[in-house]
């Protein structure tokens, strides 16, 4: 029998490796930015076009590469970071396996220009699908410029799996923010389709957070700092009153490398125990420095997961450090940390005797004395009556009808016997129909009603707005502001009115008639989150997502008590919908039980 196992060609092996390392354009952005940081760059520029599908270019002023190094950098597992296996546990750089550039070059067109400060000319290499097309000397500035064009051009199936430009851009922004937060001492510039998204100058961590998330963030931050033999913790958490209903702005960095760790995230959440309402999550920017030998970062191709040798100790230290800071800055109740001196008794009162306060009253005061007996006389006197009965002179008291309240001892006194609907456990509405009984989920039913109303307002008729007495100013990150600008017309068709949209704030002067002012921030944040994660390419689908998001945020919640009129109105509106049996998210809004089914229950006995 002939042999059937064979070695894969290099270009096929590189494409397979690219499937692990390069999942989407954001993966390329991450690898290129980290390479620039490893090159000791102090100024990095990121340029993308069409969400990175057409172009991803990173330009840095780092130390550059020699002609030989530039050629070897595109070979698999060619790296200057490790020479033996033990080096994997003593890493201080971002990249180390030598996979990134080889994987990227296998699935894209790559142009590399690089030059070291000591040389007069740099190197220009052009690669297409792992094949080097040309290599020559060129005049270029110090550092490296690498442009990745037409990503996945030779793997159309992978390209078809990419999401819309909005979603892919959001992933790129996330990667950019993570790298920029981890290195505030480096200047970053970010351009998308020739529009400047970020221009971040060299600064400290607090200034970098404010520059990325908006100026209003500064007042929300609580410093975190702790140094132990096991770990050094620095960073910020936000005050509990600024918690959000999304987990997006949660950043963990270990040795300046962004990671995801549910266990440590739980430590932060538990530190906010009893300070946050249900469904709200704290925002944090936490930097942990641990000995390199105590972690293993080589367990995942994207290096966002890390193994710790003692997670339980890290959990305890992190939790207690955050609780300490919340108490120290008077965010949470203080027990043993620091107390305000204003509550201490002054030393001068040590030997001072306490005196009982005396209340002076007039023992002769009688409010029932006649006016003539009062010591104080008023200039205007009322006409006196000899007795109280004279007040009712001329009235036939016996014929006066007094309205009395009828006492009802029925157990169901609150329910009207002829009412058509009943509410059960503040969750379901029950109504009788000809064939039996219908049970309606009030939350899902209201979602369907609101969804169709919003969709009609967006696509058919003009929505009603209510003017705010005082315009409301809301702060957002620059990336959120750019998304709000994109959907501004759609928001206005729902009923929102904007006075202005600035770089990091919006001013709202009108809102839809069925929401309150206190709901505005929560609803817009939820809407942006839904659009980022679920928006398709079609414009109508975008409007559909908006209608769904608003319906989900504003629908009557489970546990809300409805009076009889509200129940009947909800039932009537539900069955006036085009598709009353399903919520906007495909869940059943009501179920029916036939008389026959009820009869069968009793026939069993």
Structure tokens at 91: 């890493």
Judge whether 256 lies within some domain: yes
Q: 186: pLDDT confidence band, cut at 50, 70 and 90? A: very high
Average pLDDT (449-474) is 80
Taking 80 as the threshold, does the pLDDT of residue 269 lie above it? Answer: yes
One domain for residues 99 and 236: no
Q: What is the pLDDT of residues 420-444, one digit of tens each?
A: 788 888 889 888 877 788 889 999 9
One domain for residues 54 and 190: yes
One domain for residues 315 and 298: yes
Judge whether 401 lies within some domain: no
- Specify the pLDDT at position 413: 35
One domain for residues 194 and 222: no
The pLDDT mean for the chain works out to 79
- Specify the pLDDT at position 332: 56
Structure tokens at 230: 């096991």
Average pLDDT (119-127) is 92
- Specify the pLDDT at position 334: 46
One domain for residues 45 and 179: yes
Q: 335: pLDDT confidence band, cut at 50, 70 and 90? A: very low
| Domain housing 251 | 205-328
Q: In the chain, how many domains are there? A: 3
Tell me the CATH number at 477: 3.30.1370.100
Q: d(Cα 396, Cα 402) in Å, to the nearest integer?
A: 13
Counting every residue written for the chain, the total comes to: 605
Q: d(Cα 590, Cα 438) in Å, to the nearest integer?
A: 7
H helix count then E strand count, the chain: 16, 22
Tell me the CATH number at 35: 3.30.565.10
Q: 406: pLDDT confidence band, cut at 50, 70 and 90? A: very low
CA distances from 139 to 116, 173, 187, 200, 341 (A): 11, 32, 24, 28, 67
Please name the residue ranges forming H helices in 389-487: 442-459, 478-486
Q: 537: pLDDT confidence band, cut at 50, 70 and 90? A: very low
Residue 352 makes CB contacts below 8 A (sequence gap 6+) with: none
Judge whether 68 lies within some domain: yes
Q: Indicate left, alpha or beta for 394 from its phi (over 0: left) and psi (-120 to 50: alpha).
A: left
One domain for residues 148 and 247: no
Residue 93 makes CB contacts below 8 A (sequence gap 6+) with: 38, 81
Structure tokens at 53: 């599908």
One domain for residues 579 and 440: yes
- Specify the pLDDT at position 388: 54
Q: 235: pLDDT confidence band, cut at 50, 70 and 90? A: very high
One domain for residues 34 and 182: yes
pTM of the model as a whole:
0.67
- Specify the pLDDT at position 394: 58
Q: Could you say which DSSP state residue 582 is in? A: B
Residue 10 makes CB contacts below 8 A (sequence gap 6+) with: 76, 130
Judge whether 247 lies within some domain: yes
Judge whether 315 lies within some domain: yes
- Specify the pLDDT at position 602: 83
Higher pLDDT, 351 or 202: 202
Picking from 200, 232, 260, the residue at the C-terminal end of a domain is 200
Sheet strand arrangement including 497-501:
465-475, 505-512, 497-501
Q: 550: pLDDT confidence band, cut at 50, 70 and 90? A: confident
One domain for residues 152 and 125: yes
Please name the residue ranges forming H helices in 79-219: 100-106, 156-160, 165-182, 205-213
Q: d(Cα 311, Cα 477) in Å, to the nearest integer?
A: 33
One domain for residues 279 and 189: no
Residue whose C-alpha is closest to residue 202's, from 47, 59, 43, 63: 43
Higher pLDDT, 8 or 320: 320
Among 182-191, 261-270, 405-414, 512-521, the range with the most confident prediction by mean pLDDT is 182-191
One domain for residues 71 and 167: yes
Q: What is the pLDDT of residues 17-52, one digit of tens each?
A: 555 568 889 989 998 998 899 889 999 999 999 999
Residue 276 makes CB contacts below 8 A (sequence gap 6+) with: 240, 243, 282
Among 89-98, 219-228, 483-492, the range with the most confident prediction by mean pLDDT is 219-228
Tell me the CATH number at 260: 3.30.230.10
Task: List, in sequence order, every residue forming a beta bridge with 122; answer none if it has no partner.
Answer: 138
Average pLDDT (207-222) is 88
Average pLDDT (516-520) is 82
Q: 179: pLDDT confidence band, cut at 50, 70 and 90? A: very high
Picking from 285, 311, 328, the residue at the C-terminal end of a domain is 328
Strands 250-254, 232-238: pairing is unpaired
**Residue 514 host element (H or E):** none
Picking from 313, 328, 343, the residue at the C-terminal end of a domain is 328
Judge whether 374 lies within some domain: no
Is 505 within 8 Å of 484 (Cβ atoms)? no
Q: What is the pLDDT of residues 99-117, one digit of tens each?
A: 778 888 888 999 999 999 9
- Specify the pLDDT at position 127: 92
One domain for residues 28 and 55: yes
CA distances from 423 to 431, 440, 575 (A): 9, 9, 17
Average pLDDT (242-259) is 84
Judge whether 342 lies within some domain: no
Judge whether 187 lies within some domain: yes
């Amino acid at each position: 029998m002939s042999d059937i196992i064979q070695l894969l060609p290099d270009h096929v092996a590189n494409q397979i490796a690219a499937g692990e390392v390069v999942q989407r354009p954001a993966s390329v952005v991450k690898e290129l930015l980290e390479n620039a940081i490893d090159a000791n760059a102090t100024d990095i520029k990121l340029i993308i076009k069409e969400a990175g599908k057409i172009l991803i270019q990173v330009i840095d002023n780092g130390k550059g590469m020699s002609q030989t190094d530039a050629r070897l950098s595109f070979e698999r597992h060619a790296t200057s970071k490790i020479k033996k296996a033990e080096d994997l546990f003593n890493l201080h750089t971002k990249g180390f396996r030598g996979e990134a550039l080889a994987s990227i070059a296998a699935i894209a067109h790559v142009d590399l220009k690089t030059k070291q400060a000591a040389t007069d000319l740099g190197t220009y290499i052009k690669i297409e699908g792992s094949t080097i097309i040309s290599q020559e000397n060129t005049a270029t500035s110090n550092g490296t410029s690498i442009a990745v064009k037409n990503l996945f051009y030779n793997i159309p199936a992978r390209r078809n799996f990419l999401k819309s430009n909005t979603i892919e851009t959001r992933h790129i922004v996330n990667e950019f923010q993570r790298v920029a937060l981890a290195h505030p001492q480096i200047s970053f510039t970010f351009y998308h389709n020739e529009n400047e998204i970020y221009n971040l100058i060299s600064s400290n961590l607090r200034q970098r957070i404010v520059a990325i998330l908006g100026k209003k963030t500064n007042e929300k931050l609580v410093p975190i700092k702790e140094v132990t033999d096991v770990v050094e913790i620095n960073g910020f958490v936000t005050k509990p009153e600024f918690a959000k209903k999304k987990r997006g702005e949660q950043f963990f960095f270990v040795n300046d490398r962004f990671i995801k760790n549910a266990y440590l995230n739980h430590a932060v959440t538990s530190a906010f125990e009893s300070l946050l309402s249900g469904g709200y999550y704290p925002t944090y920017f936490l930097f942990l420095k641990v000995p390199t030998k105590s972690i293993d970062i080589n367990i995942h191709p994207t290096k966002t997961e890390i193994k710790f040798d003692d997670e339980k100790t890290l959990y305890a230290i992190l939790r207690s450090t955050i609780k300490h800071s919340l108490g120290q800055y008077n965010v949470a109740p203080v027990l043993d940390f620091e107390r305000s001196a204003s509550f201490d008794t002054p030393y001068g009162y040590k030997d001072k005797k306490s005196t009982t306060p005396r209340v002076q009253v007039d023992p002769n005061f009688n409010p029932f004395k006649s006016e003539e007996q009062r010591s104080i006389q008023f200039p205007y006197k009322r006409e006196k009556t000899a007795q109280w009965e004279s007040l009712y002179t001329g009235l036939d008291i016996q014929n006066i009808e007094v309205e009395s309240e009828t006492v009802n001892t029925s157990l169901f006194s609150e329910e009207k016997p002829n009412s058509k609907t009943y509410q059960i456990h503040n969750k379901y509405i029950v109504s009788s129909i000809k064939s039996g009984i219908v049970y309606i989920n009030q939350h899902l039913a209201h979602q369907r009603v609101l969804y169709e109303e919003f969709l009609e307002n967006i696509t058919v008729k003009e929505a009603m707005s209510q003017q705010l007495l005082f315009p409301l100013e809301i702060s957002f990150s620059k990336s959120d502001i750019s998304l709000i600008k994109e959907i501004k017309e759609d928001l206005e068709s729902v009923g929102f009115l904007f006075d202005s949209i600035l770089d990091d704030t919006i001013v709202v002067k009108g809102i839809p008639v069925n929401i309150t002012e206190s709901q505005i921030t929560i609803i817009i944040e939820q809407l942006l989150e839904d659009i980022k994660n679920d928006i398709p390419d079609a414009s109508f689908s975008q409007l559909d997502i908006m209608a769904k998001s608003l319906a989900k945020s504003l629908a009557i919640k489970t546990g809300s008590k409805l009076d009889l009129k509200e129940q009947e109105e909800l039932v009537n509106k539900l069955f006036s919908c085009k598709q009353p049996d399903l919520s906007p998210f495909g869940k059943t809004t009501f179920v029916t039980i036939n008389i026959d089914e009820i009869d069968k229950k009793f026939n069993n006995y």
